């Protein structure tokens, strides 16, 4: 996969620039449409054949690249790779000029990525230090996870959670247990990744979010050595009990590459800037085989 990771950054750069033109426009669907078209166009210039394992958008009725679409110059041939894509992770912050929107993609070998028609998954993420010091499990009750984290880290635990009504009980438990809680309006991929960045101050990510985002997160945390488990569920979390809890290897098996480009400013990446020399993007690309993490600032020219 080594030679593909810089090409994949070009893909997220293109999608982020297309999306950035719609920042604050109030036009979620149009932003998504143009970002998706840019992503498809750039993927179709790559010298490979890849199939989308898990795409975006069905839950929002959005215009999208969905599961089963084949992409790349060699797309008429049998695919060698699979993709998990989200041209805009954070359509609401894009349309409102909020924080954390990114264009993201993950690539693996053929059939490497988990596929589901469920829209939502229950998620638990932690950074490498905590993952090594405590045996975390999504099957544990919330208070057990927090007790384990407190013992392992010997400090007040900080948890990132999507700000949704469905998380009221979770947030109440975290507060009762003396946790610091970071409620984010959107973008749980970056919420999960921030557990692997000590400077973020976030120890754990907990709660229910999108299923495509879970596969993309698993790819990112595989590259960063983090812990991640997810379980398919409905929006309220009710169906969770009947689905398997999947670890990183079940979500993303074998080597993987992750790439992201900021659309608006966030913890992880700066958003697209417009200068007299053209748009400037800020991206991240990571490879699980080598553990390489590259941060790339690109001036695109006019």
- Return phi, psi of residue 257, to 5°: -125, 140
Q: Looking at 16, 95, 213, 257, which residue binds ligand FBP (CB under 6 A)?
A: 213
Q: Looking at 14, 55, 64, 90, which residue binds ligand FBP (CB under 6 A)?
A: 90
Asked if 203 interacts with ligand FBP (CB under 6 A), we say no
Q: Which of residues 38-67 bind ligand FBP (CB under 6 A)?
A: 60
Element (H, E) at 4: none
Q: Which stretch binds ligand FBP (CB under 6 A): 41-49, 82-90, 103-111, 148-156?
A: 82-90
Interface size with ligand FBP, residues (CB under 6 A): 15
Residue in this structure with the two tokens 């812990």, named with its chain if needed: 227
Which residues 6+ apart lie within 8 Å of 3 measured at CB? none
User: Closest by alpha carbon to 88, among 187, 201, 200?
Assistant: 187
Q: Looking at 7, 79, 89, 203, which residue binds ligand FBP (CB under 6 A)?
A: 89
Asked if 266 interacts with ligand FBP (CB under 6 A), we say no
Identity of the residue, 92 or 298, whose beta carbon is nearer to ligand FBP in the bound complex: 92
Asked if 207 interacts with ligand FBP (CB under 6 A), we say no
Contact status, residue 193 vs residue 221, Cβ threshold 8 Å: yes
Shortest Å, Cβ 53 to ligand FBP:
17
Asked if 97 interacts with ligand FBP (CB under 6 A), we say no
Shortest Å, Cβ 26 to ligand FBP:
14
Residue nearest to ligand FBP (CB): 209
| Residues 168-197 as x/- pattern, contact with ligand FBP by CB under 6 A | ------------------xxxx--------
Q: Looking at 109, 164, 273, 300, which residue binds ligand FBP (CB under 6 A)?
A: 164
Instruction: Supply angle C-alpha 269, 152, 194, rounded to 5.
Output: 10
Identity of the residue, 42 or 123, whose beta carbon is nearer to ligand FBP in the bound complex: 123
Identity of the residue, 66 or 147, whose beta carbon is nearer to ligand FBP in the bound complex: 66
Asked if 36 interacts with ligand FBP (CB under 6 A), we say no
Identity of the residue, 123 or 287, whose beta carbon is nearer to ligand FBP in the bound complex: 123
Q: Looking at 9, 23, 35, 88, which residue binds ligand FBP (CB under 6 A)?
A: 88
Chain residues binding ligand FBP by CB under 6 A are 60, 88-92, 162, 164, 186-189, 209-210, 213
């Amino acid at each position: 996969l080594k030679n593909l990771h810089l090409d994949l950054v070009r893909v997220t750069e293109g999608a982020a620039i297309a999306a950035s033109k719609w920042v604050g426009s109030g036009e979620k669907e149009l932003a998504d449409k143009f970002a998706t078209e840019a992503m498809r166009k750039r993927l179709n210039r790559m010298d490979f054949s890849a199939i989308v394992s898990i795409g975006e958008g069905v839950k929002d009725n959005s215009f999208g690249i969905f599961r089963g679409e084949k992409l790349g110059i060699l797309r008429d041939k049998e695919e060698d790779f699979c993709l998990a894509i989200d041209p805009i992770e954070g359509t609401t912050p894009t349309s409102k000029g909020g924080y954390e929107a990114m264009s993201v993609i993950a690539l693996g070998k053929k059939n490497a990525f988990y596929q589901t028609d469920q829209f939502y998954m229950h998620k638990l993420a932690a950074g490498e230090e905590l993952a090594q010091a405590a045996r975390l499990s999504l099957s544990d009750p919330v208070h057990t996870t927090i007790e384990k984290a407190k013992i392992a880290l010997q400090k007040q635990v900080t948890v990132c959670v999507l700000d949704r009504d469905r998380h009221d009980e979770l947030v109440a438990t975290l507060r009762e247990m003396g946790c610091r809680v970071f409620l984010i309006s959107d973008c749980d991929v970056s919420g999960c990744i921030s557990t692997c960045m000590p400077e973020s101050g976030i120890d754990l990510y907990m709660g229910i979010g999108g299923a495509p985002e879970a596969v993309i997160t698993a790819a990112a945390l595989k590259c960063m050595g983090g812990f991640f488990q997810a379980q398919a569920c409905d929006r309220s979390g009710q169906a969770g009990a009947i689905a398997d809890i999947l670890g990183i290897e079940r979500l993303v098996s074998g080597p993987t590459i992750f790439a992201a480009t900021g659309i608006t400013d966030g913890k992880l990446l700066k958003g697209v800037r417009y200068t007299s020399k053209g748009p400037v993007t800020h991206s991240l690309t990571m490879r699980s085989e080598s553990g390489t993490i590259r941060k790339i600032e690109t001036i695109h020219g006019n």
